[in-house]
Amino acid sequence: MEFEAYVTRQMTLADETLCIAIQGDMNFESFKARILQACECGDYRVHQEVHRLIEDTSLLESMNPEEICAAYTTLTILYPQMKFLPELLKKGVKFEIGKLNAGGESIKVRVQEIKQNDNVFDILVGLWDLIDTRLNETNHRELAYMEHLKTVDYDTRLKVIMLLDTLYGRQTPEYLKSRLAQELVTNDL
């Protein structure tokens, strides 16, 4: 008998997915240990992402120290700090990391053949750094866009947003043209 598993961790809070395929194991006990180690890999990453989101946002800003302590205790229970040492995730293991960035950009990275002397932890950390670097760039674009819109007068801002909605497929070009034409008639009155 040969065992095979796909362990997937959906990190909806970060629009990220980690999938680990485990193949070629004949011994149930070693197979079980490898599955648990794959789960720990997901725990490791989600812990990082949760704390990064807390640091990068002002979500706790309006809380008093007691509330902040309660929030961190809750986060620690849900997303504990893990020491991830993927020693069992080498032979017969494939990784896929997917990330949805701002602006609709999607990145999927796959690691296919891991050799016995490869450092899986360093490989994963390097891939996560690559993805996080790109995320930082796309997030800065979105923030710059929002800041720019604050400098534009209200009527123009609405038109720009309607244009973007059309580009994103949320409304038809005909609807946009109709609304802009209607606005011209209204302004002429």
Maximum Cα–Cα distance for the chain, whole Å? 81
Domain ranges of the chain: 3-143, 152-188
Question: What's phi and psi for 4, nearest 5 deg?
Answer: -145, 140
> Residue 185's pLDDT is what?
65
> Residue 51's pLDDT is what?
86
**Within 13 Å, how many C-alpha atoms sit on residue 8's CB side?**
6
> Residue 86's pLDDT is what?
78
Whole-number Å distance between alpha carbons of 47 and 62? 23
> Residue 188's pLDDT is what?
63
Tell me which residue has tokens 């598993």. Answer: 5
Report pTM.
Answer: 0.77
Q: pLDDT tens for the chain, 189 residues: list them.
A: 889 999 999 998 889 999 999 988 888 998 999 999 999 999 999 998 998 888 888 788 889 999 999 999 999 999 988 877 777 787 888 999 999 998 889 999 999 888 888 888 889 999 999 999 999 999 899 889 999 999 999 989 988 988 988 888 888 889 888 888 887 767 665
Question: Encoding tokens for residue 122?
Answer: 């360093």
Using alpha carbons, select from 126, 124, 120, 164 the residue that is nearest to residue 142: 164
